[in-house]
Amino acid sequence: MITGCGQGNLDYLIPGLLGFLTGGVLFGETYQSFFLKISTYASYGQKTLGELLGVNHWLLIFIVVGGTLIFYLASKISESKQRRTVTVKEQQAAGSGQVRESGTSA
């Protein structure tokens, strides 16, 4: 919602606010009956994810950082392929005479 409004798209504002309000009301109404029961079943105290899984915390850090780098590099490779495809199509269109500088077709 904030991103859409920041871009100037105010059509995100009403549904976003309604979603925030609906979520808040549902959470407030179901907290006593639902979330307190869950918290008694899953009461592990102050434990880290590494302690709960029984692995070294550095392994989890390595997995998260490695996964982030893989997704970042994959997105950059995908972006560069898309740019190359658009550039090749523009060059082909310009080379075949289909598009002139004035914007009219041959």
Tens place of pLDDT for every residue, the chain, 106 residues? 666 666 666 777 788 888 899 999 999 998 888 877 877 777 777 888 889 899 999 999 999 999 999 999 999 998 888 877 777 667 677 666 555 555 555 4
CA-angle at 10, arms to 9 and 16, nearest 5°: 110
pTM above 0.85, yes or no: no
Give me the half-sphere count of Cα atoms (radius 13 Å) on the Cβ side of residue 52. 9
Give me the half-sphere count of Cα atoms (radius 13 Å) on the Cβ side of residue 83. 6
CA dihedral 65, 67, 68, 73 (to 10 degrees): 120
